[in-house]
């Protein structure tokens, strides 16, 4: 584990805790390593989503009703 790591208390659902404990044992990794990796991945996905929003910010807005009309006209719904 990283020596600069910060300690935190989290509360997990009992079934989730059991699954995490089993995965840690099966993969020879600590529960902290698995949780850290999962949080990193979640934050990276959020960053990707925000970047995609920024890239599409200049696109014109399309009202929901207009979209439905187009889909119906094109025979998609």
Over pLDDT 90: what percentage of the chain?
A: 83
| DSSP secondary structure, the chain, as one string | --TTPPP------HHHHHHHHHHHHHHT--HHHHHHHHHHHHHHHHHHHHHHHHHTTTSPP--HHHHHHHHHHTT--
CA 45 to centroid of chain Cα atoms:
5
Q: What is the pLDDT of residue 3?
A: 73
> What tens digit of pLDDT does each residue of 7-32 get?
999 999 999 999 999 999 999 999 99
| Mean of per-residue pLDDT scores for the chain | 94
């Amino acid at each position: 584990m990283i020596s600069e790591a910060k300690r935190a208390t989290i509360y997990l659902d009992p079934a989730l805790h059991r699954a995490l404990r089993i995965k840690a044992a099966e993969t020879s990794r600590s529960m902290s390593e698995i949780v850290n990796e999962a949080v990193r991945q979640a934050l990276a996905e959020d960053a990707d989503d925000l970047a995609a929003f920024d890239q599409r910010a200049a696109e014109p807005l399309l009202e929901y009703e207009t979209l439905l009309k187009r889909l119906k006209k094109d025979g998609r719904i």
